[in-house]
Amino acid sequence: MSAEANVGVVGLAAMGASLSRNLARHGNKVAVFNRHYSRTEKLIAEHGDEGQFFPAKTLKEFVDSLSKPRTAIIMVKAGAPTDEMINDLADLMEPGDIIVDAGNSYFKDTIKREKAIRARGLHFVGCGVSGGEEGALLGPSMMPGGTEESWKTLKPILESISAKAEGEPCVTHIGSDGAGHFVKMVHNGIEYSDMQLIAESYDLMRRGLGMEPGEIGDVFEEWNKTELDSYLIEITSEVLHEVDKKTGKPLVDVIVDHAGMKGTGTWTVQTALELAVPVTGIGEAVFARGLSSQGELREEAQRQNFEGPTGSVEMPLEERQAFVNDIREALYASKIVAYAQGFNEITAAAKEYDWNIDLAAVARIWRGGCIIRAKFLNRISDAFEAGDANVSLLFAPYFKDAIETAERSWRRVVARAVTFGIPVPVFSSSLAYFDGLRSKRLPAALIQGQRDFFGAHTYQRVDEPGTFHTLWAEPGRKEITL
Ligand SMILES: NC(=O)C1=CN([C@@H]2O[C@H](COP(=O)(O)OP(=O)(O)OC[C@H]3O[C@@H](n4cnc5c(N)ncnc54)[C@H](OP(=O)(O)O)[C@@H]3O)[C@@H](O)[C@H]2O)C=CC1
Ligand SMILES: O=C(CO)[C@H](O)[C@H](O)COP(=O)(O)O
């Protein structure tokens, strides 16, 4: 086999097949390999005429068909299969070659893999890819980590296939080792929060106001012409307008209400806990999916027939319209909080793992191709570029103004949802985060007092420096300095 292909893809399921076609369509010579050859045959039979493919039956044949330095992109199931594939490839490749893991790998695994592969003289790049199957084919947003040297080789290849936002490729070198997969993980966390907020908005209109799915779909279509303009709002409208072919009912009414998840949202929250960064909106979104899937618990709760409001309320038309507008404002404010928290997590990780991450560039590459692509990402990148969002996105003048504009609506939505008995965990936790930030004094002082009482954990005073402990068990409860 002659070494002609400038890039190769291993794993030809939904994502890998689309990525290979995208590469071939952009003039790359693409070696392709899949564990079961049937997927390779299918790709070539159905799309072989879209460009130059080099199908391989064995991994050795695949490696031999790549020109040097070889670049192999792995798109297989995350976890053990990815590890296996990396090791098999590394055994066949030579120093200077590049292995790219474009799956949704855990960033700590990427850090370990990069170290192990570097020790063998090869480059290892963990690269987040977002956009689903369609994005992989038509232009994803990509978040590569790894060395600067490997980025030089990858840049023209990845730029050729990435989405373009206002003419700019939606790919940039995020930082060393696991930085790319970390940023993709946070992207997915924000995706969870965004989706849950949209779902809570839907619930308030459906159960609270008794609106039909199609009608709510129209509302989302209108919202997509506002500052909420985004891929997720757009597809929500489509999903809500869809009618089930079998029953003639709205499709959303025949889908089981258990939300699945593959792990990236959970990782975002676990990591945030380790870094001590509150990502409350993302956390609640993960827990909301978890609760939805607790089938037995929910069935038993139904049998318990708890007292309480059932969600539906009567409202005059004008008030209903005003409430729908309040929901839009609350959605925007809570969405800003989710991004602010997500970017804070990236900042904390960059410090912890010594990554030099350009947050404005991250916002720019999320403007196209990825699942959270949205019009307001232009505003986010502007805020980071101007240095206005270094501490929090909420402090950048544009976002401060947006939050202040939405604030009353936001409170009305949370207050009414509580009265209606409709759960809005992300709306309410985002508002609580905002109020927590705004509060001059927090009840944390009382917690410090309690901790000192039962565990001698000490406290600081507002009026003098030092560390103090009250001798709670002794008469007179004298305070001592430590
Ligand atoms: N689907 C999506 O929207 C997105 C997915 N991703 C990530 O991209 C990657 C690929 O996703 P997707 O295309 O959905 O495919 P899957 O995650 O369903 O993985 C299927 C692919 O993995 C291969 N595979 C599984 N086990 C092994 C193994 N032990 N050795 C070798 N190959 C193996 C399969 O080969 P075979 O055909 O032989 O079984 C097949 O090519 C995953 O890491 C996923 O998390 C990232 C962004 C979006
Ligand atoms: O990475 C993605 C998009 O960015 C994938 O679609 C991912 O699978 C979504 O996560 P989950 O399956 O947990 O909802």
188 lines ligand 2 (CB under 6 A): yes
What pLDDT score does 405 carry? Answer: 98
What pLDDT score does 1 carry? Answer: 65
Is 184 annotated as catalytic? yes
3-state secondary structure of 315: coil
* CA–CA–CA angle 49, 54, 59 (5° rounding): 145
Residues contacting 213, CB < 8 A, separation 6+: 206, 240, 241, 250, 252, 253
Find out whether the peptide bond into 69 is cis, omega within 30 degrees of 0.
Answer: yes
What pLDDT score does 190 carry? Answer: 98
Q: Which atom of ligand 1 is nearest to the CA of 36?
A: 38
Query: What are the φ/ψ torsions at residue 26 (nearest 5 degrees)?
Result: -100, 25
From the DSSP assignment, how many helices (H) and strands (E) are in the chain?
20, 11
Ligand 2 center from residue 479 Cα (angstroms): 53
Residue 311 Rama label (left phi>0; alpha psi -120 to 50; beta): left
Secondary structure of 430-459 in HEC code, one letter for each residue: HHHHHHHHHCCCCCHHHHHHHHHHHHCCCE
CA–CA distance, 16 with 11 (Å, rounded to integer): 5
131 lines ligand 1 (CB under 6 A): no
136 lines ligand 2 (CB under 6 A): no
Reference 128, options 191, 190, 187; nearest CA is 187
Reference 194, options 114, 284, 79; nearest CA is 284
Which amino acid is present at 340?
Answer: A
Length of the chain as a residue count: 482
What pLDDT score does 336 carry? Answer: 98
- Residue 43: burial class (beta carbons within 10 Å; 0-12, 13-18, 19+): buried
What pLDDT score does 252 carry? Answer: 98
Strand (E) positions, 288-431? none
What pLDDT score does 126 carry? Answer: 98
Is 77 annotated as catalytic? no
Strands 123-130 and 98-101: parallel
Reference 56, options 71, 70, 69, 43; nearest CA is 43
Ligand 2 center from residue 55 Cα (angstroms): 28
Rounded to whole angstroms, what are the CA distances from 401 to 395, 396, 397?
Answer: 9, 9, 6
84 lines ligand 1 (CB under 6 A): yes
Instruction: State the catalytic residue, choosing from 191, 200, 284, 329.
Output: 191
Q: What is the chain's Cα-based Rg?
A: 26
pLDDT per residue rounded down to tens, the chain (482 residues):
688 999 999 999 999 999 999 999 999 999 999 999 999 999 999 999 999 999 999 999 999 999 999 999 999 998 999 999 999 999 999 999 999 999 999 999 999 999 999 999 999 999 999 999 999 999 999 999 999 999 999 999 999 999 999 999 999 999 999 999 999 999 999 999 999 999 999 999 999 999 999 999 999 999 999 999 999 999 999 999 999 999 999 999 999 999 999 999 999 999 999 999 999 999 999 999 999 999 999 999 999 999 999 878 889 999 999 999 999 999 999 999 999 999 999 999 999 999 999 999 999 999 999 999 999 999 999 999 999 999 999 999 999 999 999 999 999 999 999 999 999 999 999 999 999 999 999 999 999 999 999 999 999 999 999 999 999 999 999 999 99
What pLDDT score does 313 carry? Answer: 81
Looking at the predicted complex, does its ipTM rise above 0.95? yes
